[in-house]
Amino acid sequence: MSGGPLTLLALAIRRFEKGEIGVAEVQGSIVSNGSAVEGASQGLLEALRSAEAELEHVQHAMLLDQQRGAALEALGPLLRELERLGVSSRREVPSGALVARLDRDVEADTAYLYLSDVIPHGSVARSVECGPVVLDFDRLGRLVGIEVLSAGDVLPAALSAD
């Protein structure tokens, strides 16, 4: 499942924060996804331009070992603006593995986020209801899936769209 350009941009920033991609890759994501945004707010456009310019400076004017910290600082305002706009990059689980699948049942108004490729039948040992969210754990206590009830009200539009 792919998101819109802002979701993809937020995911790239999170991947950069985790060290999964470098300065050039996150800068490329800003250029390609930022240019695909139509009708963006002035704040977002300014944050995109500023991050792009700062990353250009970081990449060419700093030693490699100094680039990461400076780039993270430069990306902060852009990430905060994306979050203010409700753009989520939370499709990733703490291990850094991407969510394998998000299934949406529009009739039942639920969504299920699989945190692994497959959850074998009978492997959910415990479910914990937390308001509109049900957390499913395997017998080792690992979170394997998340069910969202009233998904249309709870999930950001970027995640709840088919």
- Kindly report, residue by residue over 17-37, the tens digit of the pLDDT: 777 777 888 888 888 777 767
Beta strands in the chain (DSSP E): 101-105, 110-114, 126-130, 133-137, 143-149
Mean pLDDT of 144-150: 87
> Contact 137/125 with Cβ under 8 angstroms?
yes
User: Per-residue pLDDT tens for 105-115?
Assistant: 888 888 888 77
pTM, two decimals, is 0.47
What is the model's pLDDT at position 93? Answer: 37
